[in-house]
Amino acid sequence: MVQITLPDGSQRSYPGPVTVAEVAAGIGRGLAKAAIAGKVDGRLVDTSHRIESDARLVIVTDRDAEGLEILRHSTAHLLAYAVKELFPDAQVTIGPVVDNGFYYDFAYKRPFTPEDLTAIELRMA
């Protein structure tokens, strides 16, 4: 039996190991869809993480600072991937997450055009 304690103090019991996603789904469909990650006993984990023993769990969504950082970090990598797919000679330089989003700098033989940006956005979709 695995006992999960939620932030409001409520507890849920499971007959065996359970993932963060399964706990979120058990709470509600909306939370399951919004879940980006979890914090198990204060440690950030992805939603497929299996909780095998009693733990405190926080479901992380885009309303949480950690959730936004995960989304921004992942989207930055997706941007770099799309640029490399479309412009194989482009060099990925730096791409940090910042307070209000993220950015990436690329070294390429010419500036990207508005048409290039549209193609990059479509490749990311």
DSSP string spanning the chain?
Answer: -EEEE-TTS-EEEESS-EEHHHHHHHH-HHHHHH--EEEETTEEEETTPEE-S-EEEEEE-TTSHHHHHHHHHHHHHHHHHHHHHH-TTPEE----EETTEE---EE-SSPPPHHHHHHHHHHH-
* CATH number, domain containing residue 39: 3.10.20.30
In angstroms, the CA 18 to CA 24 distance is: 10
- Answer with the residue of higher pLDDT: 52 or 98: 52
How many domains, the chain? 2
Residue ranges making up the domain that contains 111: 66-124
* CATH number, domain containing residue 111: 3.30.980.10
Let me know whether 52 and 22 are in one domain.
yes
Segment 80-91, tens digit of pLDDT:
999 999 999 999
What is the pTM (predicted TM-score) of this model?
A: 0.82
Let me know whether 86 and 119 are in one domain.
yes
Report the mean per-residue pLDDT for the chain.
96
Let me know whether 41 and 90 are in one domain.
no
